[in-house]
Amino acid sequence: MSIILPILNQSKYKIKDKYKNIVEIELGDFIDDEKSGCYYMHPEYKFIEFKYQPNYEVVKEDYKVIYGDMSVEENSISLFSNKSERFNDEKYRARVLIDKPITSNEFDIISIEFERSDVSTFFIGFFDSFTRDLDIEFLEGVQNLESYKSPKCDIIYNNFDKDVLKIIKRVGLKYLMDTLMTEKCLMKNIECTINISEGFIQLNNERRIYNKLLQRSQETYITYGYHPNVKSEVIGKINKVSMGKNKGYLFLKPIKIDFNKCKVLMLYSGKPEIEYLSKNELTWTKIDELSQIEVNKELILRVAMNHRDRIYSIFIVDELEDVQLE
């Protein structure tokens, strides 16, 4: 069943006309956020779009400050740029390494929530273990800046430069301009979702921007910070960095109903699969349109979803007739 918005209300009316006793689930009130993966609720149409299933959230112990300063607050990381004796100039810099390897079999998606400054260009970078090892040796004083000139030092930058996003590749000290892609970006507070399995970036739940540079099959590390500037110290704030998989679950809070047998109908797009918890067996059982469920005053549901799957409505009805939707 694939429902698109122009016929959504028509489909709802058909269900409501067909059944006498019906409960329409208010999705915003019944999702159990503590158990569920990350999702987006459309502010006007109120449908749910699944984003990803988090399985790791970056903690302060994962951060290594390459240059600049960092302070840890209760729910965020503040990054401060400053001058460094290791650079022979008067520029302000700030960069941190998240020393947590990202592998494609463990993670599909990286989500970073941050507040950026207008003074300098904020960036989120990806590189492999070679450049990560250079960073560690640089911190230990074993390597100097010359080491980063190596052609093995391959970095993908997502640069938030004033009012545009630029995705660009750097090898050694050379920026490969044939890889440059720009996109308008006026936001200061940004929730940035990067899908490394499909190769796209999405800002604040708006349209997806695809670029093959974002696809990562090898072990990857994240770095972020501010590019050098000659003006002043820059302060940036990272509120949250998490990683996860494309597939996951939305869990609904227990639903109290007055009838003993019911059917569950769902209007959706994509391939979500709704399941109920059998209290007799304490197992999750898949529901289809013909399923008749025995209920003891309470129904517990979850929906297996992939990123971009949508749920428009869920209905619980107590009659056994089929519903034919166009």
Strand segments, DSSP code E, in 128-217 are: 154-161, 164-171, 174-184, 189-195, 200-203, 208-210
pLDDT, tens digit, 9 for 90 and up, residues 205-216: 998 999 999 999
**pLDDT tens for each residue of 134-187:** 999 999 988 778 889 999 999 999 999 888 899 999 999 898 877 778 888 888
* CA dist., res. 291 & res. 253, Å (int): 20
pLDDT digits 0-9 by tens, 123-133 = 999 999 999 99
Coil, strand or helix: which one is 234?
coil
pLDDT digits (tens, 9 = 90+) for 269-279: 999 999 999 87
| CA nearest neighbour of 224 among 310, 304, 144, 122 | 122
The reported pTM is 0.87
The DSSP 8-state label assigned to residue 252 in this structure reads B
Higher pLDDT, 283 or 4: 283
What are the extents of the domains in the chain? 5-31+252-317, 54-245
Type of residue at 56: Y
Quick: pLDDT tens for 216-232.
Answer: 999 999 999 988 777 66
For the segment 309-324, what is each residue's pLDDT rounded down to a tens digit?
Answer: 999 999 998 754 444 4
Q: How far is CA 105 from CA 61, 175, 197, in A?
A: 23, 29, 10
3-state DSSP: the chain helix, strand, coil percent, rounded to 5?
10, 50, 40
Give, in words, the CATH class of 54-245.
mainly beta
CB 86 within 8 A of CB 67: yes
The pLDDT confidence band at residue 102, using thresholds 50, 70 and 90, is very high
Alpha carbon 235 to its chain centroid, in Å, reads 24
Beta strands 261-269 and 293-294 are antiparallel
**Residues 6 or more apart from 81 whose CB is under 8 A from it?**
68, 92, 93, 94, 120, 225, 226, 229, 233, 234, 235
